[in-house]
Amino acid sequence: MSSTTPKLTVVGAGPGDEDLITLKAIKAIESANVILYDALINESLLKYASKDAELIFVGKRRGCYAFQQEQINELIVSKANEKGHVVRLKGGDPFIFGRGAEEIDYVRQFGLETFMVPGISSSVAVPAYQGIPLTKRGASESFWVITGTTKQHKLSEDVALAAKSTATVVILMGMGKLGEIVKIFSKEGKGDTAIGIIQNGTRDNENVGIGTIDTIENIVEEKQLANPAIIIIGDVVKERAVLSSIYNEVNKK
């Protein structure tokens, strides 16, 4: 058993672009004895790991699980007791639909020290990379960030509440429920409301579809948009076209 105190650091890896990670996160990766990493992280971040660190892929994508959550929890504890410092490297921010809090709660039962390094959340950074501000004076005074799929594998009831508001609505893990989302917003008379879907946000293979509630399903089919993607609904989505137009005008000069 390692003489190092068993500890867990849950680290947010950001939305995908390798550069969108904090200095504190890199320091945690460098000091780790074991790194358990997810499918959505940029694997180039593993270059910061010590050559002696044990790297374990525990990734999860829809319908494909390398490890179940309970197995991950147990693995954190066993590896921390065996080797010392475990870093749990998770995409985006682990405290925004990332189950980071659940993992910390679990390992504390076994006396592990726990630390958290926040990450840049895809819910904010991915729209920003496409020139979409989640709030803008005169367009949106607030925003909702909602999971598209609950623990019961159903669409969150909060989507219906958000659809009644004037807020920007950001839905994560919602592509499998897009048809339901469209119906909810259509029912509120928002067929003309702008919507953007961004797949693999901030990465080299980013794929974007922009339309309205009435047209987005056809656009998704045309552009073959799929998970991992985020959905942004609201007038602020129109800002992307404005900023792109300005960018193109500047480049012509």
Strands 7-12 and 34-37, bridge-based pairing: unpaired
Cα–Cα distance measured from residue 27 to residue 99, given in angstroms and rounded to the nearest whole number: 22
Cα–Cα distance measured from residue 7 to residue 169, given in angstroms and rounded to the nearest whole number: 37
Exactly one of 7, 38, 93, 175 is catalytic; which is it? 38
Distances (CA, A) of 208 to 179, 200, 229, 233: 18, 9, 9, 14
Q: How many CA atoms lie within 13 A of 148 on its CB side?
A: 23
Is residue 38 part of the annotated active site? The answer reads yes
Is residue 173 part of the annotated active site? The answer reads yes
Structure tokens at 42: 């940029």
Return the sign of the alpha-carbon dihedral for residues 139, 126, 228, 241: positive
Distances (CA, A) of 23 to 50, 60, 86, 181: 16, 26, 18, 37
Q: Which residues contact 185 (CB under 8 A, 6 or more apart)?
A: 163, 191, 193, 213, 233
Is residue 60 part of the annotated active site? The answer reads yes
Exactly one of 60, 136, 223, 238 is catalytic; which is it? 60
- Residue 119 contacts residue 90 (beta carbons within 8 Å): yes
Exactly one of 79, 90, 173, 175 is catalytic; which is it? 173
DSSP alpha helices (H): ranges in the chain? 23-31, 69-83, 100-108, 122-129, 158-163, 178-187, 216-223, 238-252
Q: Which residues does the annotation mark as catalytic? A: 38, 60, 173
